[in-house]
């Protein structure tokens, strides 16, 4: 038993050793010349999103805690990037993987999970995924990874090349090496928890700003200091914004939150595509919209400095939705006014 776990951990570490760190992209902002914007490009991980880091951490956490052993079936409640990344690591270790997802999940995502050898188990409504994942784990004596609970504690926030450590070391030679702001959105809340804890641990003056889309409860929960809030409607921006305050969301390490309209996120996606030469996912639009608002504020205060945010995933998965004008017009409305604001 111990030998298998030892080998499994070695496999994950060897995979890490073969991987390169992700780029930090610098974007000039002509409208606010004293301010540099940086994008931590998490789309270049093998499974295409920042969830690659989370999946690696959750597997190591499960292995080192004795929850994952030879032949343990891995179960997760996720219709998105987490399922894809966990399927990758399950296959690396030769473990069976089942993603519990709503029947309405986009075909592209189902295909991605299956591409890495994962199975998809469908429920009628999004709200059923947690209980069904728990039930399946009990029935198969498997392990429910439970990203929404464990994201915050599975990551070593002090360093060890987590996303925060990597960002601050990649900033070292920049003219404004210590960012004024780091901007991130929240799905599990795990990434913002890591960023906020790391900033405090290192004693930086950087402020952590969390952006939140429409129909998510994180913003209201932060402002009202109430974790019991819920929202009836789900977020339209995949990967971020939740109808309940997830256990991994840590408001105490967040300095400020900004609510971002969905159309503002969509307009920013188009603005970004022109500057990067490639499409990116919806949450990146939300992040960059927030960063641009902060750049404007800094400019008005005649401050110079840097802002870092995260490019969370690739746009190819959203060509039929966020990058399709008809889809945006019929699902979210008219983006022209928002595009004009970006110039």
Ligand X SMILES: *Cc1c(COP(=O)(O)O)cnc(C)c1O
- x/- track of binding to ligand X for residues 74-113 (CB under 6 A): ------xx--------------------------------
Nearer to ligand X, 22 or 192 (CB): 192
- x/- track of binding to ligand X for residues 277-296 (CB under 6 A): ----x-x-------------
Q: Which of 139, 195, 130, 131 is nearest to 162 (CA)?
A: 195
Write down the least CB distance from residue 287 to ligand X, Å: 8
Nearer to ligand X, 180 or 242 (CB): 242
Write down the least CB distance from residue 195 to ligand X, Å: 9
Q: Of residues 1-60, which lie at the interface with ligand X (CB under 6 A)? A: 49-51
Closest residue to ligand X, Cβ-based? 239
Measured CA to CA in angstroms, residue 43 lies from 54, 85, 91 at distances of 14, 12, 20
Nearer to ligand X, 120 or 311 (CB): 311
- x/- track of binding to ligand X for residues 237-276 (CB under 6 A): --xx------------------------------------
The residue within the footprint of ligand X, chosen from 186, 245, 254, 263 (CB under 6 A), is 186
Write down the least CB distance from residue 159 to ligand X, Å: 18
- x/- track of binding to ligand X for residues 135-174 (CB under 6 A): ----------------x-----------------------
Between CA 202 and CA 185 the distance in angstroms is 22
Nearer to ligand X, 32 or 97 (CB): 97
The residue within the footprint of ligand X, chosen from 179, 187, 251, 279 (CB under 6 A), is 187
Binding piece for ligand X, criterion CB under 6 A, among 105-113, 129-137, 183-191, 196-204: 183-191
Q: Of residues 188-217, which lie at the interface with ligand X (CB under 6 A)? A: 188-192
The 3-state secondary structure of the chain reads CHHHHHHHHHHHHHHHHHCCCCCEEEEECCCCCCEEEEEEEHHHCCCCECHHHHHHHHHHHHHHCCCCCCCCCEEEECCCHHHHHHHHHHHHHCCCEEEEEECCCCHHHHHHHHHCCCEEEEECCHHHHHHHHHHHHHHHCCEECCHHHHHHHHCCCCCCCCHHHHHHHHCCCCCCCCCCEEEEECCCCHHHHHHHHHHHHHCCCCEEEEEEECCCCHHHHHHHCCCCCECCCCCCCCCCCCCECCCCCCHHHCCEEEEECHHHHHHHHHHHHHHHCCCECHHHHHHHHHHHHHHHHHHHCCCCEEEEEEECEECHHHCCCCCCHHHHHHHCCCCHHHHHHHC
Q: Of residues 296-335, which lie at the interface with ligand X (CB under 6 A)? A: 312-313
Supply φ then ψ for residue 332, to 5 degrees. -125, -25
Nearer to ligand X, 145 or 151 (CB): 151
Cβ atoms of residues 138 and 173 within 8 Å? no
Kindly determine how many residues on this chain lie close enough to bind ligand X according to the rule CB under 6 A: 20
Nearer to ligand X, 240 or 295 (CB): 240
Write down the least CB distance from residue 87 to ligand X, Å: 14
Nearer to ligand X, 32 or 105 (CB): 105
Task: Give residues in contact with ligand X (CB under 6 A).
Answer: 49-51, 80-81, 151, 185-192, 239-240, 281, 283, 312-313
């Amino acid at each position: 038993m111990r030998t298998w776990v030892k080998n499994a951990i070695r496999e994950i570490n060897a995979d890490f050793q073969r991987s390169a760190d992700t780029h930090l992209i610098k974007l000039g902002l002509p409208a606010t010349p004293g301010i540099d914007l940086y994008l931590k490009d998490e789309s270049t991980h093998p499974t295409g999103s920042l969830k690659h880091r989370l999946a690696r951490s959750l597997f190591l956490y499960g292995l080192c805690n004795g929850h994952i052993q030879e032949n343990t079936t891995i179960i997760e409640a996720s219709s998105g990037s987490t399922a894809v990344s966990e399927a990758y690591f399950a296959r690396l270790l030769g473990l069976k993987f089942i993603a519990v997802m709503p029947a309405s999940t986009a075909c592209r995502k189902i295909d991605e999970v299956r591409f890495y050898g994962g199975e998809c188990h469908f429920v009628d409504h999004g709200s059923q995924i947690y209980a069904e994942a728990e039930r399946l784990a009990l029935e198969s004596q498997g392990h429910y990874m439970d990203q929404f609970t464990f994201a915050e504690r599975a990551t070593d926030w002090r360093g060890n090349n987590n996303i925060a450590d990597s960002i601050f070391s990649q900033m070292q030679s920049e003219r404004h090496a210590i960012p004024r702001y780091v901007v991130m959105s929240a799905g599990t809340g795990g990434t913002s928890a890591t960023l906020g804890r790391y900033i405090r641990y290192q004693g930086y003056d950087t402020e952590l700003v969390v952006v939140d889309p429409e129909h998510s409860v994180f913003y209201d929960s932060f402002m009202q200091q109430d974790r019991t809030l819920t929202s009836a409607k789900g977020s339209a921006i995949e990967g971020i914004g939740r109808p309940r305050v997830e256990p991994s969301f840590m408001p105490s390490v967040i300095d400020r939150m900004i609510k971002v309209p969905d159309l503002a996120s969509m307009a920013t996606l188009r603005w970004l595509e022109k500057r990067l030469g490639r499409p990116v996912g919806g949450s990146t639009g939300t992040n960059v919209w927030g960063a641009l608002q902060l750049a404007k504020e800094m400019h008005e205060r005649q401050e110079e400095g840097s802002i870092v945010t995260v490019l969370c995933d690739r746009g190819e998965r959203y060509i039929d939705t966020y990058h399709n004008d008809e889809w945006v017009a019929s699902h979210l409305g008219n983006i022209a006014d928002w595009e004009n604001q970006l110039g």
